[in-house]
Homo-oligomer: A and B are copies of this chain.
Amino acid sequence: MSSLSTPDIITATEADLAAFDALFAHSSAIGTTANGGLHRLAASAEDGAMRDAFCAWLGERGFEVRVDAVGNVFGLVTFNPSAPYVLCGSHLDSQPNAGRFDGTYGVLAGAVAVASVTRQLRERGETPAFNLAVVNWTNEEGARFQPSLIGSSTFMGSLSVAEACSSRDAAGITLGDALAQIGYRGEAMLDVPVAAYLELHVEQGSQLENQGLAIGVVRHTWAALKWRVRFDGEQNHTGPAPMAVRRDALLAAAHAIVAVKAEAELHGLHMHSSVGRLEVEPNSPNVVPALARLLVEFRSPSTPLLAAAGERFRATLADIAARTGTTFEIEHAQLREPSHLHHGLSELAHATCAELALPCGDSVTVAGHDAISLSRRYPTSLLFVPSQGGLSHNEAEFTATADLHRGVRLLTALLYRACCQPGRYLGGATS
């Protein structure tokens, strides 16, 4: 489809990169922490302010801004109303006291890349096969509301709008009410037909840095087993109550946390595990805890290995409960299957990196990403830029500006290819 008089590639200009820098700096100033990180929980006032800034930026550049029933924000550029969209994006929410790059980078890079491709296509007089859009998915982090990936899961239909909006934070506020509070609860889900989904993200690992690569093309993801486990004991006085009669829910939870780590250690590099959240009741100095609720996760490239670990851990929980006089319940269990990113898009990403002289390699992601939700049905590409020291969900999370720019240039070129040359990754004729 490209005319013979124009080059076969489009990428971000210096002006585009400067626009990205300004937009990213603006983002870093909304929800800033004392140590230069970001605290911008989903549907908080800070998230609202960031959404406002994002929508204003899109509006000024002629995007059609739409908000769906779970607060996902789309910035659409429609060349042909009957064509589907090449969508790109990520999330603007953060973990508590976390970094400036996670999620935000993919949304802002996506906005700049879509604007750049749109402008350059119009300058060339070229009409793409597919439309373009950028998206900010709601509550990717799962920090304030559970589960994570709420926005993209609801878009994909694996979570209902009612389930999503009724999720409550620690203060009992529902996601629906929190979104309404900041003015981002739309009326319905949008029927945005998707041709492909591209997500640019910081690596949150150190492979790229260690190998001197600019870009990681994610080929597949790890599976994850997530359980919410509850121990019930008996509230009692920590002083006179004889040790033999105590039923201490926190002691049971402590044994479980130690056991989670021990299970992971059986599998070396093939398993990651954690307990990131623990709630204790009544959590009072002189009271034997009556209840402990912990979020356990095991991650592995192998689903059978996770299933076996889960069965073994269930038996361990029963043993702990018996030894501590408590009872346990697995209140919620979720198995996220591993997924494979789109082969054609991955190959196209490698080829485009080569053309742009960006050293790249294949990557794996252990973390969840909105791209994993989308990959269940649509051709999806997930692309990484380096994270200094692999540090993530931390105020000190860092990626150098030059690395951010390399990612924006790749995303711009890949968006161009994805909307103008679908044959290059969907298996049809190349343009």
Contact = CB atoms under 8 A, between A and B. Distances in A.
A143 B205 contact: no
A250 interface: yes
Contacts of A203: 240
A264 B285 contact: no
A245 B269 CA distance: 12
B276 A289 contact: yes
A354 interface: no
Interface string A236-258: 11111111011010110111111
A118 to B, nearest CB: 33
Interface stretch (A75-83, A122-130, A365-373, A419-427): A365-373
A235 B288 contact: no
A258 B264 contact: no
A256 B257 CA distance: 11
A98 B395 CA distance: 40
B282 A366 contact: no
Contacts of A237: 204, 367, 392-393
A274 B257 contact: no
Contact of A278 (B235, B280, B287, B299): B280
A284 B277 contact: yes
Contacts of A280: 277-278
A90 interface: no
A172 to B, nearest CB: 16
Given A96-B284, A276-B288, A285-B148, A390 B242 contact: yes
Contacts of A238: 272, 274, 276, 297, 299, 393
Interface string A215-237: 00000001010100000001111
Contacts of A286: 95, 141-143, 148, 276, 297, 367-368, 393
Interface in A177-194: none
Nearest to A207: B240
Contacts of A97: 235, 282
Given A98-B235, A235-B394, A392-B237, A276 B272 contact: no
A205 B286 CA distance: 15
Nearest to A239: B367
A236 B390 CA distance: 9
Given A282-B95, A287-B96, A239 B204 contact: yes
A424 to B, nearest CB: 30
A295 interface: yes
The interface centre, meaning the residue of A222, A254, A275, A290 with most chain B CB atoms within 10 A of its CB, is A254
B258 A251 contact: yes
A326 to B, nearest CB: 13
A204 B401 CA distance: 63
Contacts of A274: 238, 246, 248, 288
A237 B205 CA distance: 9
A2 interface: no
A145 B337 CA distance: 46
A39 B297 CA distance: 34
A240 B366 contact: yes
A257 B261 contact: no
A269 B241 CA distance: 11
A272 B288 CA distance: 12
A236 B284 contact: no
A285 B277 contact: yes
A146 interface: yes
7 contacts: A141-B284, A238-B274, A250-B276, A254-B275, A278-B278, A286-B297, A286-B367
Interface of A: 95-98, 141-143, 146, 148, 203-205, 222, 224, 226, 234-243, 245-246, 248, 250-251, 253-258, 261, 264-265, 269, 272-290, 295, 297, 299, 365-368, 390-395
> What 3 A-B pairs are tightest by C-beta distance, nearest first?
A239-B367, A254-B257, A238-B274
